[in-house]
Structure 1
Amino acid sequence: MRHRTADSVPPGGSRRPLTGSLTSAHSWPFTGREDALGELVPLLTGPDPYVLLLTGPAGVGKTRLVRELLAGPARPVARVLTAPATESTRRIPFGALAHLLPEPLPAAGGRSNLLRALADGLLAAEGDTDPNGTAPKPAPVLQIDDTHLLDDGSAALLLHLAVRRNLRIVLTARSGVPLPDAVDAMVRGGYARRLELPPLTADSVGLLLERALGGPVEGSTADLLRRYSGGNVLWLQQLVEAGTAAGTLTDTAGVWQRKGPLDPGTELSGLVERRIGRLSPAVRRAAELLALGEPLGSAELEHLVGPAVLDELDHHGLATGESDGRRARVRLAHPLYGEVLRQRMPAHRRRRHCRELADAVRRTGMRRRADP
């Protein structure tokens, strides 16, 4: 456990973070990704243009790592072209790259000619010589977030640019969701290097909390925040902000401690709800039963909701299995899922679910220590 320096705590003890909003993506210190940054730098600064595809769960810190890469040791001389993909632009041909393409769009007789014309126009907008006109300019860097949301036209243009090797391309995408076929083709054809960014380790979470809060964090509090965030930087930031705002995460005699129940807060609850997604009433009921009674025996849960609903719960990535001796048990895939489901569950539905769970336990004969 690190100790706070003498000038870190003002007289009187309690202290707020030194600067900025706790949940600002830019104000939190860059921590726990130094090895990943070191692995990416030579790929982006090598002699040949390269395509990097960085994948990982939403909120794990992919975009922050790319920004550190492009602003720090791999900072390009040429301008960085940015193009965030969204669900809205996914429905529009070349929608994600529209602001980078020439106006008006070139008219071409065939699709291959169109891609060539668009690529030429995008590169020409950057110019191909330095300001004095004496030497070729360094290739620009094209950065695209949420590549899994690219429309087919933009993805095809990316593949065309990757094959031509006129510029460096840095992409981020959510893992576990399909990529556009053209982006997959870049990886399969060896034009792109794909790297998976895992959640932060327990040590990195502890160090990040210390740096963000400006002082040591009590061990059980750090463990709880790590478990509930799952090493997801965005979720960790939201948990800390909600705790400091509600007064349940406080600086006590120079050490940050949890005082009271952990509250995800409105913003994080909304993020988790979007992650859970829109569920059918039957699947929502199964998830709520787990939220109130986890871990549940898989046989008991299947008896309550039916095998098809149990399969659908697994298909949505909401549940995970574990073994307890000879008994198979089911939990929600993340502790925050349970917190948010319990928080947003109407009282009448909670009572109904609790009665169902109690009846299910009675049917098993109350044989296990956890049954009461």
Structure 2
Amino acid sequence: MISGDALTGRDSELTAMRRALGGTGNLAGVVIAGAAGVGKTRLAREQLAQAATTGVRTRWVVGTASARPIPLGAFSAELGDTITEPAPSVRRVIAALVGRQRAAKVLVGIDDAHLLDGFSAHVVHQLAQTREARLVVTVRSGVPAPDAIKALWKDGLLDRLDLEPLSPESTRLMVESILGGPLDARSAARFWKLTGGNALFLQQLAKDQASAGHLRQVAGVWSWPGPVAVSQSMSDLVGNQLDQLPTDLAAVVDNLSQCEPLEVELLAALVGRGNLEIAEQMHLITVERTGAALLVRLAHPLFGELRRARAGEMYLSKVRGRLACRLSADDEPQTVVRRALLTLESDLPPDPGLYLEAARHTMRLLDLDLAERFAAESAKAGVGEAVEIRAVNRFLAGRGPAAEELLRELSGDGDRDRHRWAVLRAANSIWMMADPHAAADILAALAAGPETDTERMSRYSVEAGLDAVLARCADAEQKARAALDSGLLSDSEHMLASVALMMACGALGHAEDISPAARAALDRAANSHESAHMRFWFGGVYARACRLTGRIEDCTRAAEVLSELARDMPGLAYANLVFLLGSAELMRGDLQAAARLLHEALAGVENHGITTGLRPACAFALTETHAKLGQADAAAEMLTEATRVVRPDFLFMQTGLATARGWALVAGGRLSEAIDTVLAEAKVAADRGQLTHELACLQAATQWGATEHLPEIAVRARTLAGLLRLPLADAVALHAEALHRRDGEGLLQASHAYQLLGDRATAADAAAQAAVILTGAQSRSRGLFAASIAAQLAADCGGLSTPATRTPPTPTPLTGKQREVAELVVAGLSNKQIAERTYSSVRTVEGHIYRACQRVGASSRDELAEILRRGGYGTVR
């Protein structure tokens, strides 16, 4: 799992170093300055290694504290004997380093030059001044260095590169290179927060977590869900002084390791103000002014981890108890949660009321695991409301069977809120247990009994979701609107009804209602412990509605807003958020970003054991993403996952499954089957009244060039455009009509329409189809123009590879059959396999391949495949 010492995140620095070493500005090289552990040595060694591959002679010299008292001590290996007269020996050292080589052919690395003795520093200065060699010198920032070394950059002999800690993104890249696979964003942020981007700390921390088994790989993505493991090696790196701290100073670090930041006055009351002053002078803590308050933090995040690893649990329990007693008793949510957690993990008596209050706040703050801990402790003390909190919390966390256990009990005949809990039990059956029939039975039993107006609207909020799941879209919309307009719903019921309304409006194409309903749902949920967490599930539903109605920018804006709320939160909220972000990137056509985010979402789903809506939705989106990147095997793997987990009675997902299957077939070269699949689903969606689902199927078939079906597709797409009155529907109708008429200019207009919607991938397909038609019609200049648009859009998508972008624009375009056979060649099938797949003879297949080769200028079957893989116009710009 742990790989070698790969250099990542330093491309710009390497470029700057190459420029300095190339003689730009008459420089003799570069000085790399930076803090300890930031990666100076690693960067210098990389530069020498790269130079060595080009035939440059390299030498490596290291300054050390032990050699500093010795004249020319750093160069003793070059001299090979005892130095009696340092001054005359300087020329011998230079001669030994450079020999008879030209300066451009010698590169000398000087590591930790601030530790050189005066004569060794003089050698380095002479080399720079005479330019007898190129130099890469490292120095530690903020420590004294010999004058001759400081003169290297002050006198302009060498360029100075101040090496900053790794950025968050570079940190993620480095950890991924160590682990040999992608890392989820939350874990990457945790690595960066603990190390501050220090490359040395980062590498050791990653190795420590791997050795302790704290890193986990799920669905191909690494995550770090567990505690921090701290090895002795890390302790030695970060600060040996922590082990030798007097008790009073250790108490400063120990208190902050349990709770930070803390106000100066609060911490001073526990450990003494004088000890705080000393700790600040020793750089153990930092003190910053925020408004009128002075806040204390640890100077390095790893200080707290190191002390936690070495302090005893009984001692830390006392520390937490004292902190809990000192924290103010105000009702600010963060303070309540901090006080409750400190109390829970301290030697203080349990406080069930505090735990219950903290559970509500923690649900609102999206940490459902911590909320479960608080509610469970409160329930142990016999607080009845804690059981209700646990039931809601389990539902929100996607723990369907565990929620059912409590909800079944709460909805029993003797409970005063039996109806309310039965409604939530029905919702749990639909969304968390994927059992809409059980939900229907519960709701029918409620409808058969007496209900108040409030209870009826409560039932409607979940019945609307059931109707939406079973593709009864008009009924879903009617019930959801009635429930929402009643003003009688609880927060969770309001969100459930909003989800149903979003599903129905998306399927029916009622785009004007989508954004207002979304704003109302998100605003109400913002401060509710019942529904704050549901915003991220709602976000995924909203994303689907936006895609079906062509509102890509609206989806992107919602993703950005929600990402600020849950980026650092654990659990299912984060998985839903990443799915929303990935969906937005897929709609926009940023396929590489989409693949990364959606795989991370799938890993989050698997980590939490979710088997219902989010899991198949991730698989659908990943199937399409990999297919659009031309990754047939990965698309097929994701389709297998989607088929395995989607419920057949989740009718609202059947269009997503059909289009995913179509994309996987397309990636495998099976165009005819793909087109037949989505057109069959289009008819089913039409029968159900899911007009935008039908439109999505027609759009896919048009993108894939459904030649023989185009007359019917064009007519139906135009009819849908009249019914839906959506810019997306107009674009699809224009696309299908232009392709049917073989109208290249019309296809360019369709491409522009898709670009206005923000859909670069479909715009690229339409432009590629235009390039083929215009070139075939002998309009070479317009064909080149269309090809350049398609090529740029395909590149902007991160390597879009679809049937349209793979079809080369030639004076004699490929026929439909030749194109289908050529796609199967690209997929790696033999002639015999292609014959079996297309129900034709091997000889017929050979003929199609021969004529396809003639039309695209290929001399062999392999060349035909290569031309299609890169796109016939891929180099036209």
Same fold, judged at TM 0.5 (above) = yes
CA separation of 1:227/1:215 partners in 2, compared to 1, >3 Å: closer, same or farther? same
Alpha-carbon distance in structure 2 between the residues aligned to 1:182 and 1:356: 55
**Paired letter, 1:218:** D
Structure 1: gaps (5+ residues): 1-16, 108-113, 131-135
Q: Which residue of 2 aligns with 1:30?
A: 7
Alpha-carbon separation, structure 1, partners of 2:310 and 2:103: 55
Quote the residue 2:144 is aligned against: 178
Q: CA deviation at 1:315?
A: 3.5
The answer for the alignment partner of 1:62 in structure 2 is: 40
Residue in 2 that maps onto 1:216:
182
Residue 197 of structure 1 pairs with residue 174 of structure 2: no
CA apart distance, 1:80 = 1.9
Equivalent-residue separation in structure 2 for 1:127 and 1:258 (angstroms): 49
Q: 1:92 to 1:129 in 2, by over 3 A?
A: closer
Match of 2:92 in 1: 121
Structure 2 residues not aligned, in runs of 5+ = 340-877
Correspondences of 1:248-327 after superposition (within 5 Å): 248-274=214-240, 282-305=248-271, 309-327=275-293
C-alpha separation between the residues in 2 aligned to 1:158 and 1:41? 19
Give the residue type in structure 1 aligned to 2:90. Answer: A
Equivalent residue number for residue 164 of structure 1: 130
- 1:5 is aligned to none
Q: What amino acid sits opposite 2:16 in the alignment?
A: E
Are 2:114 and 2:143, in contact at CA under 8 Å, matched by a contact in 1? Answer: yes
Separation in 1 of the partners of 2:97 and 2:90? 11
Which whole-Å CA distance do the structure 2 matches of 1:311 and 1:241 have between them?
35
1:52 to 27, 30, 55: 30
Asked if 1:100 is matched to 2:66, the reply is: no
Q: Distance in 2 between matches of 1:200 and 1:230?
A: 8
Give distance in 1, aligned partners of 2:97 and 2:66: 27
Local SS of the residue matching 1:331: strand
Aligned length: 334
Q: TM-score, normalised by structure 2?
A: 0.35
Separation (CA, whole Å) in 1 of partners of 2:227 and 2:35: 26
2:111 — aligned with what?
A: 145
Instruction: Point out the structure with the larger helix share.
Output: 2
User: Which has the higher Rg, Structure 1 or Structure 2?
Assistant: 2
Task: Report if the CA contact (8 A) 2:175-2:203 is conserved.
Answer: no
Code of the residue aligned with 2:260 in structure 1: it is E
SS at match of 2:286: strand
Deviates more, 1:275-284 or 1:79-88: 275-284
CA distance in 2, matches of 1:165, 1:74: 19
Q: What is the alpha-carbon distance in structure 2 between the residues aligned to residue 322 and residue 58 of structure 1? A: 24
Conserved? CA contact 2:280–2:287, under 8 Å: no
The corresponding residue for 1:41 is: 18
CA contact (8 A) 1:102 1:121 kept: no
Q: 1:252-311, CA deviations, whole angstroms, 9 ceiling, x for partnerless residues?
A: 232212242121333222211348696566544433333233212123344555555434
**Cα distance between partner residues in 2 of 1:209 and 1:61:** 14
Deviating more after overlay: 137-146 vs 72-81? 72-81
Aligned residues of 2:90 and 2:123 also touching (Cα < 8 A): yes
Shift of 1:121: 0.3
Aligned to 2:121: 155
CA distance in 1, matches of 2:241, 2:137: 21
Distance 2:288 2:235 in 1: 26
Larger RCO, structure (CA 8 Å, separation 6 or more): 1
| Cα distance in 1 between the residues matched to 2:270 and 2:120 | 46
What TM-score do the two structures reach when normalised by structure 1?
0.77
Q: Equivalent of 1:232, from 194, 198, 201?
A: 198
Whether the 8 Å contact between 1:225 and 1:236 is mirrored in structure 2 is yes
Alpha-carbon offset, residue 38 of structure 1:
0.6
- Kindly state the Cα deviation for residue 190 of structure 1 after the two structures are TM-superposed: 2.5
Task: Give the Cα separation in 2 of the matches to 1:127 and 1:28.
Answer: 29
Residue type of the alignment partner of 2:12? D
Letter in 2 for 1:176: G
Change (3 A) 1:158 1:61: same
Partner of residue 311, structure 2: 345
Asked if the contact 1:273/1:340 (under 8 Å) is kept, the reply is no
CA distance in 1, matches of 2:115, 2:312: 34
CA shift for structure 1 position 198: 1.0
Q: Deviations over 1:216-237 (max 9, x none)?
A: 2223222212212221222222
Distance 1:274-1:89 versus aligned 2 partners, 3 A rule: farther
**1:126/1:336 CA distance change after superposition, 3 Å:** closer
Would you say the 8 A contact 2:94–2:123 is kept in 1? no
Shift of residue 249, structure 1, vs aligned partner: 0.2
| Alpha-carbon distance in 2 for matches of 1:281, 1:179 | 36
What residue in structure 1 maps to residue 57 of structure 2? 79
Higher relative strand content:
1
Instruction: Describe the shift of the 1:277–1:53 C-alpha distance in structure 2 as closer, same or farther (beyond 3 A).
Output: farther
Aligned mates of 1:123, 1:76 — CA distance in 2:
22
Deviation string, structure 1 residues 56-106 (Cα, Å, up to 9, x no partner): 222222122112212226867453221222232233333222212363436
